[in-house]
């Protein structure tokens, strides 16, 4: 290894060949280039030329230079140059590469791999043996262990297989593994420790002893990412109508900011919150404002810039739509419209929460976030105990007052109540019904504006007590509490001092009621209550980068009531857990989040004095320049070969003509798509009728004249603006521009090929209409023998729906004119259209089949005259033919909108009423 600035050579003695280049130069100069041969009749005149001393033959200087550069590159390339070679870990013995591959290593994992890879590269050049030790436990459930010493090439494969894990590195286990390694391989070795720089246990993990042990064994290089502090995103705090997201990080010297993205199940980011982090701060918080409907769709929060598994929080149903149980004293009358106890509650909560009905005992047997009791007393006994226990565990109990509660207060109330209720503004009272006072600060209702028309006529009154004012979330204008609350254990009890129906106040009639309930439900801590110890199997787990994937074999189920308390580990990787049968029911998935139980990240202790500290990232990885130089040399030699051949006349002037021919061919090929594009522009600039080219010039001309005549007629009589008709060949031309395709069927018409069939079927499926004309119906019977067979042949592969004669009330008969018959040049035959109504295409029949030779009927020559007489004849038939054409085009352009006329009587009747 010989280093020259940032450039090093692995085989430096080969550079000794460089001084030989001038010799090569001289040799190339004195040896003439091979002559080109040339036949020449007048060779006699060239005989015995005197030696020409003034112009010696010579290889051109640029060719000489080219060869010299190629030779130089060859020598340099073989000397295996390396740009900015890695340090290699110092020392000379075996090399141990220790890699922290916990969650904190994920954000800059490629840079870490590059740092370790550079060391392996250097070790491979120096022929050192390498062992790899990853500090995080592998996901197979095996313990942390170092590999044996192996050649660097093998170690590279081991290194490439390493992945960051979705749990913290276990440095205590790594220290033990190091002890095993040293016992197996006594003697000094150098170490490269690619560390994540984070203490992963609150009281400090074994980072310091590990580093000390490594330093003891030999020279130690510590590679750390200084610029990027480790970050994590703990599970958010749910508040009314928003999620409070917090970012924890190792304190950094500069202020930065992080972004939290809220994603739905299909990966869409639907909201984001930017969190500024002050310099030196270890945490920062911001609100993620989300309407509840949107919030219910959020299944994960991601920290940006990417922070791996610790920056990902999966949100299960605890953060989602809450199950709310409602219960009334008398179930039978509770749902009575406008008067029932639960009538308003159901309507207010229905859009935002999952409502369950039943007695409190029934409701509490399942998981529940909020239980609402509307004027229902809780008698002493099992029910009261169960309720009290549930509230202690974090349930939210909301109670509404009423005559029964006023009679018999119970302890499950936030405040002591006076017996009886207070009546305001009754017939025997001087008081006015009371309006609401503005909500106090600190109340979950703060910010809501109480409307002036909400008044309270009756309420239950609280006994005055010192805590009454702080327990009041809402008051009336005279200061008496309307909503009071008290925290019990992890849960709370909320009391509305009015009824849940409109009997005591008109609060339940107002939108304020809805908002208040929504905030209360959002405030609830989530599902509480009976959680069994049924095991939840891992459904999907997060890898170290925070990507969901299939569960590893080592991942074990967790009992449902243990999910909260479980710390992420190889046995329980973070991710979704649930019972397999309930996997589709998202409400039953439980999320295990890595960040829920991680201590706030702390910077690791300083390395011991003897260790060399390197930065990860920012430094370009070493680059082996050898192959590039050899490739460049080969390229130059190939150029040289071509030039030499050219000089000998073996390649040359014939090329130019070949190239010209190739260029011309390419131009012709390019012109073909250009023509198709031009057609498309013409076709889409205006509405065109189109006809299928039959190959019979006369018939095609009649089709063209017919459609031109019809277009002319329609331009004069209707609002439709039709341009010149266009001839199309199905399968070759794009049919999507045309509403109507006129197709005269000739007796000798061949069966359309596959491409044409596909194009026509697509055309019909997308709403196009094909008018198939056999030209032999009615008065034209026998004019076109064989057309029926041809029609069968032509339409064999087309997706023709079942047909029926065009009915008297078919839209085709009145799309513009009211028509009894549908004549063309001939008259009296049957015309067929789709039998069934297909709502997909506005009930428009994709195909209309008849034999009236309509094009001949509509045909108009250049002088504006009709070249084909109608049969049986008369100007009337001609007019009717044009009218049919108009109806047809209107049908094609507007669909069945004229069909709606059948509803006109009903509409008129409704308007009259």
Partner 1 sequence: MTVIPIPWAEALGATLPPLVVQAERVASTVMQGVHGRRRPGQGDAFWQFRPYLPGDSASQVDWRQSAKSDRLFVRETEWEAAQTVAVWCQADAAMDWRSDAMLPTKQVRAELLVLALSALLFRGGERVRLFGLPRAFAGRGALASLAQSLPRQAALAEDARIPRHARAVLIGDFLAPLEETRRVVAQLAAGAVRGHLLQVLDPAEETLPFTGRVRFHALDAAEEALVPRVEGVRALYEERLARHREGLAALAAASGWSFATHRTDQPPETALLALHRRLAPG
**Cβ distance to partner 1 smaller for residue 579 or 647:** 647
Supply the minimum distance, in Å, between the C-beta of residue 701 and partner 1: 44
Q: Quick one: which segment of 46-54, 163-171, 477-485, 514-522 binds partner 1 (CB under 8 A)?
A: 46-54
Which span (27-35, 187-195, 283-291, 343-351) binds partner 1, by CB under 8 A?
Answer: 27-35
- As a whole number of angstroms, the distance between CA 683 and CA 690 comes to 10
Residue 405: CA count within 13 A, CB half-sphere:
28
Using the minimum distance from each CB to partner 1, give the nearer residue, 34 or 661.
34
Minimum distance of partner 1 from residue 19's CB (angstroms): 30
Q: CB of residue 30 vs partner 1: minimum separation in angstroms?
A: 13
Looking at the DSSP bridge assignments, the partners of residue 591 are 576
Cα–Cα distance, 442 to 453 (Å, whole number): 24
Backbone phi and psi for residue 7, each to the nearest 5 degrees, phi listed first: -105, 135
Choose the binding region for partner 1 from 3-11, 44-52, 515-523, 703-711 (rule: CB under 8 A).
44-52
Closest CA to 383 of 356, 401, 365: 365
Which region, judged by CB under 8 A, interacts with partner 1, from 49-57, 345-353, 561-569, 852-860? 49-57
Site string for partner 1, 116-155 (x = CB under 8 A): ----------------------------------------
Is 913 a residue that touches partner 1 (CB under 8 A)? Answer: no
Closest contact distance (angstroms) between CB of 667 and partner 1 is 23
The CA distance from 797 to 800, in Å, is 8
Task: With contacts defined by CB under 8 A, name the span among 28-36, 206-214, 334-342, 751-759 that binds partner 1.
Answer: 28-36
- Tokens 């286990």 belong to residue: 173
Residue of 5, 41, 186, 187 that binds partner 1 (CB under 8 A)? 41
CA distance 48 to 243: 102
Among 54, 203, 584, 808, binds partner 1 (CB under 8 A): 54
Q: Which is nearer to partner 1, 35 or 464 (by Cβ)?
A: 35
User: Which candidate, 415, 395, 403, places its Cα nearest to that of 324?
Assistant: 395
Task: State whether the Cα torsion 791-797-802-806 is positive or negative.
Answer: negative
Tell which positions 57-86 bind partner 1, by CB under 8 A: 57
- Tokens 């409602």 identify what position? 326
Nearer to partner 1, 33 or 204 (CB): 33
Between CA 42 and CA 524 the distance in angstroms is: 109
Which of 249, 210, 209, 247 has its CA nearest to residue 227? 249
Q: Measured from the CB of residue 123, what is the shortest distance to partner 1 in angstroms? A: 54
Q: Which is nearer to partner 1, 36 or 796 (CB)?
A: 36
Pick the closest to residue 830 from 776, 790, 879, 892 (CA basis): 776
474, 476, 479, 481 alpha-carbon torsion, rounded to 10°: -50
State how far the Cα of 76 lies from the Cα of 400, in Å rounded to an integer. Answer: 89
Q: Of 34 and 269, which CB lies nearer to partner 1 in the complex structure?
A: 34
Count of residues interacting with partner 1 (CB under 8 A): 24
Cβ distance to partner 1 smaller for residue 59 or 679: 59
Site string for partner 1, 598-637 (x = CB under 8 A): ----------------------------------------
* Span of 55-63, 64-72, 824-832, 862-870 interacting with partner 1 by CB under 8 A: 55-63
Cβ burial of 639 (10 Å; 0-12, 13-18, 19+) is: middle
Per residue, the 3-state secondary structure of 870-892, as one string, reads CCCCCHHHHHHHHHHHHHHHHHH
684-743: contacts with partner 1 (CB under 8 A): none
Which region among 43-51, 310-318, 562-570, 862-870 touches partner 1 (by CB under 8 A)?
43-51
The 8-class DSSP code of residue 730 comes to B
Task: Confirm or reject binding of residue 820 to partner 1 (CB under 8 A).
Answer: no
Cα-based angle 258, 261, 263 (whole degrees, multiple of 5):
165
For the CB of residue 45, give the shortest distance to partner 1 in the complex, in Å: 5
Minimum distance, C-beta of residue 64 to partner 1, in the bound complex (Å): 15
Work out how close the CB of 57 gets to partner 1 at its nearest, in angstroms, rounded to a whole number.
Answer: 4
Q: Position of tokens 């026998």?
A: 782
Query: Of 828, 831, 827, 826, whose CA–CA distance to 808 is shortest?
Result: 831
55 binds partner 1, rule: CB under 8 A: yes
Considering beta carbons, is residue 52 or 532 the nearer one to partner 1? Answer: 52
Q: Count CB-CB contacts under 10 A for residue 482.
A: 25
Mask 635-674, x = binds partner 1 (CB under 8 A)? ------------x---------------------------
Q: Counting contacts by CB under 8 A, is residue 33 touching partner 1?
A: yes
Q: How far apart are CA 721 and CA 699, in angstroms?
A: 25
d(CA 516, CA 446) in angstroms, rounded, equals 10
The smaller minimum CB distance to partner 1, of residues 45 and 669, is found at 45
CB of 658 to partner 1, least distance (A): 13
Of 5, 56, 127, 553, the one binding partner 1 (CB under 8 A) is 56
Closest CA to 260 of 211, 219, 315: 315
Q: Name which of 39 and 913 has its Cβ closer to partner 1.
A: 39
Query: At closest approach, how far in Å is the CB of 22 from partner 1?
Result: 24
With CB under 8 A as the contact rule, the residue among 35, 280, 535, 663 that binds partner 1 is: 35
* Contacts to partner 1 from residues 152-191, by CB under 8 A: none
Q: Which stretch binds partner 1 (CB under 8 A): 52-60, 528-536, 793-801, 806-814?
A: 52-60
Q: Give the closest residue to 471 by CA, choosing from 414, 388, 413.
A: 414
For 354, counting Cβ atoms within 10 Å of its Cβ (0-12 exposed, 13-18 middle, 19+ buried), the class is middle
Cis upstream peptide for 872 (omega within 30°): yes
| Least distance to partner 1, CB of residue 56, Å | 7
Cα 429 to Cα 423: distance, rounded to the nearest angstrom = 8
Contacts of 448 (CB under 8 A, 6+ apart): 439, 512, 515, 516, 519
Among 31, 38, 698, 865, binds partner 1 (CB under 8 A): 38
Q: Which range touches partner 1 (CB under 8 A), out of 32-40, 220-228, 470-478, 899-907?
A: 32-40
Closest CA to 598 of 300, 275, 209, 283: 283
Q: Is 31 in the site for partner 1 (CB under 8 A)?
A: no
CB of 644 to partner 1, least distance (A): 12
Interface pick for partner 1 out of 5, 31, 49, 332 (rule CB under 8 A): 49
Tokens 């869409």 found at: 268
493: β partners = 397, 486
From 156, 70, 164, 146, select the one nearest 121 (Cα to Cα): 156
Residue whose CB is less far from partner 1, 35 or 873 = 35
Say how far residue 436 (Cα) sits from the centre of its chain.
47
> What six digits make up the tokens of 35?
């002559």
40 touches partner 1 (CB under 8 A):
yes
Which residue in 43, 667, 669, 719 binds partner 1 (CB under 8 A)? 43
Alpha-carbon torsion angle 724, 728, 734, 736, nearest 10: 60
Distance, in Å, from the CA atom of 302 to the CA atom of 309, rounded to the nearest integer, reads: 9
Between 57 and 910, name the residue whose CB sits nearer to partner 1. Answer: 57
- Residues 458 to 517 in contact with partner 1, rule: CB under 8 A: none
**Closest distance to partner 1 from the beta carbon of 36 (Å):** 6
Residue 39 touching partner 1 (CB under 8 A): yes
Which residues of this chain interact with partner 1, rule CB under 8 A? 32-47, 49-50, 52, 54-57, 647
């Amino acid at each position: 290894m010989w280093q020259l600035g940032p450039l090093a050579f692995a085989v430096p003695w080969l550079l000794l060949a460089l001084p030989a280049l001038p010799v090569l130069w001289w040799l190339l100069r004195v040896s003439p280039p091979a002559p080109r041969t040339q036949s020449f009749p007048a060779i006699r005149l060239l005989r015995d030329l005197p030696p020409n001393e003034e112009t010696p033959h010579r290889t051109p200087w640029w060719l000489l230079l080219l060869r010299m550069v190629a030779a130089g590159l060859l020598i340099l390339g073989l000397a295996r140059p390396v740009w900015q070679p890695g340090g290699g870990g110092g020392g000379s013995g075996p090399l141990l590469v220790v890699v922290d591959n916990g969650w904190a290593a994920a954000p800059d994992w490629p840079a870490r791999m590059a740092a370790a890879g550079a060391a392996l590269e250097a070790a491979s050049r120096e022929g050192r043996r390498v062992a790899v030790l990853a500090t995080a436990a592998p996901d197979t459930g095996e313990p942390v262990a170092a590999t044996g010493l192996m050649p660097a090439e093998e170690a590279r494969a081991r290194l490439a297989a390493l992945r960051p894990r979705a749990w913290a590195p276990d440095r205590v286990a790594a220290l033990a593994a190091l002890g095993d390694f040293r016992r197996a391989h006594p003697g000094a070795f150098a170490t490269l420790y690619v560390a994540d720089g984070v203490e992963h246990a609150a009281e400090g993990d074994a980072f310091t002893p590990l580093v000390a042990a490594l330093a003891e064994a030999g020279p130690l290089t510590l590679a750390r990412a200084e610029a990027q502090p480790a970050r994590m995103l703990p599970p958010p705090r749910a508040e009314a109508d928003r999620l409070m997201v917090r970012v924890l990080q190792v304190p950094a010297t500069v202020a930065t900011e992080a972004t939290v993205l809220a994603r739905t199940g299909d990966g869409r980011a639907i909201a984001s919150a930017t969190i500024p982090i002050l310099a030196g701060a270890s945490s920062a918080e911001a609100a993620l404002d989300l309407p509840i409907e949107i919030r219910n769709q959020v299944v994960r929060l991601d920290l940006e810039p990417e922070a791996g598994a610790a920056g990902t929080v999966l949100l299960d149903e605890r953060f989602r739509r809450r199950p709310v149980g409602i219960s009334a004293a008398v179930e039978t009358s509770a749902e009575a419209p406008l008067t029932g106890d639960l009538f308003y509650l159901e309507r207010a909560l229905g859009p935002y929460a999952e409502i369950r009905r039943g007695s409190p005992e029934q409701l509490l047997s399942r998981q529940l976030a909020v239980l609402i009791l509307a004027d229902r007393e809780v008698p002493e006994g099992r029910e009261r105990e169960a309720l009290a226990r549930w509230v202690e565990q974090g349930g939210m109990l909301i109670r509404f007052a009423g005559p029964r509660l006023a009679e018999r207060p119970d302890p499950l109330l936030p405040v002591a109540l006076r017996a009886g209720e207070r009546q305001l503004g009754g017939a025997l009272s001087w008081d006015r019904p009371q309006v609401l006072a503005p909500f106090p600060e600190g109340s979950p209702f703060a910010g809501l504006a109480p409307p002036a028309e909400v008044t309270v006529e009756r309420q239950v009154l609280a006994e005055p007590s010192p805590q009454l004012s702080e327990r009041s979330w809402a008051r009336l204008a005279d200061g008496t509490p309307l909503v009071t609350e008290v925290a019990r254990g992890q849960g709370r009890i909320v009391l509305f001092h009015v009824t849940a129906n409109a009997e005591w106040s008109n609060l339940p009639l107002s939108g304020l009621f809805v908002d208040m309930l929504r905030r209360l439900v959002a405030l609830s801590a989530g599902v509480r209550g009976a959680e069994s110890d049924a095991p939840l199997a891992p459904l999907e787990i997060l890898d170290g980068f925070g990507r969901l994937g299939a569960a590893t074999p080592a991942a074990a189920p967790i009992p449902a009531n243990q999910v909260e308390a479980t710390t992420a580990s190889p046995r329980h990787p973070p991710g979704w857990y649930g019972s397999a049968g309930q996997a589709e029911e998202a409400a039953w998935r439980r999320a295990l989040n890595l960040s829920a139980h991680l201590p706030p990240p702390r910077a690791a202790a300083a390395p011991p004095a003897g260790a060399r500290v390197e930065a990860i990232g920012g430094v370009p990885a070493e680059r082996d320049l050898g192959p590039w130089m050899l490739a460049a040399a080969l390229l130059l030699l190939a150029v040289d070969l071509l030039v030499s051949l050219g000089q000998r006349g073996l390649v040359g002037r014939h090329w130019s003509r070949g190239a010209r021919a190739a260029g011309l061919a390419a131009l012709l090929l390019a012109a073909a798509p250009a023509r198709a594009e031009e057609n498309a522009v013409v076709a889409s600039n205006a509405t065109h009728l189109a006809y299928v080219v039959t190959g019979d010039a006369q018939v095609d001309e009649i089709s063209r004249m017919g459609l031109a005549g019809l277009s002319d007629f329609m331009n004069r009589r209707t609002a439709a603006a039709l341009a010149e008709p266009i001839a199309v060949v199905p399968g070759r031309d794009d049919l999507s521009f045309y509403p109507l395709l006129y197709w005269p069927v000739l007796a000798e018409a061949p069966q359309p090929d596959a491409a044409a069939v596909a194009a026509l079927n697509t055309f019909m499926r997308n709403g196009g209409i094909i008018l198939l004309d056999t030209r032999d119906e009615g008065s034209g019977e026998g004019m076109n023998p064989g057309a029926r067979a041809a029609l069968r042949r032509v339409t064999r592969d087309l997706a023709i729906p079942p047909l029926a004669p065009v009915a008297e009330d078919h839209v085709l008969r009145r799309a513009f004119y009211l028509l009894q018959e549908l004549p063309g040049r001939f008259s009296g035959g049957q015309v067929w259209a789709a039998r069934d109504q297909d709502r997909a295409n506005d009930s428009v029949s994709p195909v209309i089949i008849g034999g009236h030779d309509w094009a001949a009927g509509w045909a108009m020559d250049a002088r504006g005259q009709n070249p084909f007489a109608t049969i049986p004849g008369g100007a009337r038939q001609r007019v009717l033919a044009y009218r049919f054409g108009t109806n047809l085009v209107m049908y094609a352009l507007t669909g069945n909108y004229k069909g709606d006329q059948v509803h006109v009587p009903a509409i008129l009747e409704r308007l009259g009423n």
